[in-house]
Structure 1
C-alpha cells in the first residue's frame, strides 16, 4: 500500500511582501497569506483525508496550520523543529539588495539557500542533514494509505525534493522557489518516493 505526504509552504508573510529574509525570525501572515492558507485547507479537506498534520514550530507555519484547520483539515497539529526554515543568521531581516551590497559574492537574483555558509547561521550541509533526517523519520512512521500534510517553508520543501529526485540541493534551489501555500505531493511506496505534484497552485485565489 502507498502513503502520501503533502508539503505545504506557509502563506505570505509581512516579510515576504517586503522582500526580507526570514529564516528563523518570526513574521506574521498578511491577509492575503491567511486567504491562501484557507484556500489550501479547503482544497486539502476536499481532495485528501489528512490523517496527520506536521508543522514547523515557527509562527508563520503555525498560523498557516490554524487556517488549514479552520478551512476543514481535522488533524491536530504536531510541532516539529526539523521542518524549520534554514537559520540565515546575520542575514535575517535584510533584503536581497542589502545582502548583495554587503556580500558581492551573492548574486541578488540567485538563491540564498544555495549559499554554502552564513555567518551566525546554519551551513547548507547542516540544514540539509536536519531536514533529511526529519523526512526519513516521517517516511519511516508513515502508515499504509496514510496521508500526512507537512506545513513548512521553501527551503525544506526543496531539500526534500533534492532527496527524492537525487538532484543537488544548491542547483535545485537556484532554479525553483515554492509558492506561498503551494502544494507538493509525494507518493511513498515500497519502490521509493515519487513526486506526484510539484508546487501545485490551482487552488489559490488569483
Structure 2
C-alpha cells in the first residue's frame, strides 16, 4: 500500500528508543513545538479474538484495563500533560480516562476525527475470513490505490490520512510549548506514521503502545515509536496492528 503524504515537507528525527519513564530530568519543550504523546488504546475483546473493529464498539478486556493502568502509571512519572484528547470510541475513551484519573485531570476532550478507520463491510468479521466473505472490500483495503473507498461505507486510506493528520495539527496549534496526550487507534497511528515518514509500512503497532511526536508549523518529528516497555509485566498481543498483513487488528 502506498503512502499518503503530509502537506509540508516533514522534519524527521531518527527513531530512537524512548527514555526510561523513571528518568529524572524533564526536557524543556521549545515554545514553538507541541509535544504530543499518542497512545493506542488497550486490548479489547475483539482484538483478542481477531475480529475487525473499525468504527464498531468493543470493550477493553481484562488485559486491556491492565494496559490502560500501566500506561497511566508510566505517564505519571513523566511531565504532566496540559490536556488529554481521545477518539470518541469507547475503547479509546476508557483508556484516556484512566490516564486522566491518574493525573487528576477532570476532562477528556473527545475528538471524533481521531476514531478508527471505517472499513466498511469488513467490520465485525474475523480477519481470516474476509477474503472469502467480502472479496471486493478485501481488495479495496489492501489496494495500493489510496483513494479507493472500501465497499459498505468505508473510508479510503487517503481520507483516513487527511482527517488524522488534520486532527493532530489542530491539536498542536492549540498547545505550542506544551505536552498533551492523545488516545487513538492502530489504523490512525499507522496512517500518521506513513504520512510523515513516507515509509511503506509502520510495522507492528501494539495495544497500549506510546508514541511521542513533536509538531511545529506542520513539521513533524518522531521522538519514539511503538514503545511498549511499560507493558512488560502486563503483556500484549504479539501480532499487534499491521495493516500490510492479515495480522491487522
Structure 2 gaps, min length 5: 1-29, 236-249
In structure 2, the CA distance between the partners of 1:143 and 1:157, relative to structure 1 (3 Å rule), is: same
Shift of 1:19: 0.2
Q: Aligned equivalents of 1:104 and 1:166: distance in 2?
A: 28
Q: Aligned equivalents of 2:47 and 2:62: distance in 1?
A: 12
In structure 2, the CA distance between the partners of 1:113 and 1:55, relative to structure 1 (3 Å rule), is: farther
Task: Say which structure is richer in helix.
Answer: 1
Q: Residues 46-85 of structure 1 correspond to what in structure 2 (within 5 A)?
A: 46-72=77-103, 74=105, 76-85=107-116
Q: Given that residues 38 and 70 in structure 1 are in contact (C-alpha distance below 8 angstroms), is that contact kept between their aligned partners in structure 2?
A: no
Shift of 1:132: 1.7
* Alignment correspondent of 2:209: 182
Deviations 1:159-188 (A, max 9, x none): 221232233xxx325xx2311010010123
Q: Aligned equivalents of 2:186 and 2:49: distance in 1?
A: 17
Q: Residues 148-159 of structure 1 correspond to what in structure 2 (within 5 A)?
A: 148-159=180-191
For residue 203 of structure 1, give the secondary structure of its aligned residue in structure 2: helix
Q: TM-score, normalised by structure 2?
A: 0.72
Q: Which has the larger radius of gyration?
A: 2
Q: Residues 20-59 of structure 1 correspond to what in structure 2 (within 5 A)?
A: 20-59=51-90
Q: Given that residues 117 and 160 in structure 2 are in contact (C-alpha distance below 8 angstroms), is that contact kept between their aligned partners in structure 1?
A: yes
RMSD: 2.3
* Alignment correspondent of 1:166: 198
Structure 1 gaps, min length 5: none
* Alignment correspondent of 1:15: 46
User: Equivalent of 2:158, from 125, 135, 145?
Assistant: 125
Q: How many residues align?
A: 197
Which shows bigger deviation, 119-128 or 63-72? 63-72
Q: TM-score, normalised by structure 1?
A: 0.86
Which shows bigger deviation, 54-63 or 180-189? 180-189
Shift of 1:113: 9.3
The alignment status of 1:199 with 2:226, answered yes or no, reads yes
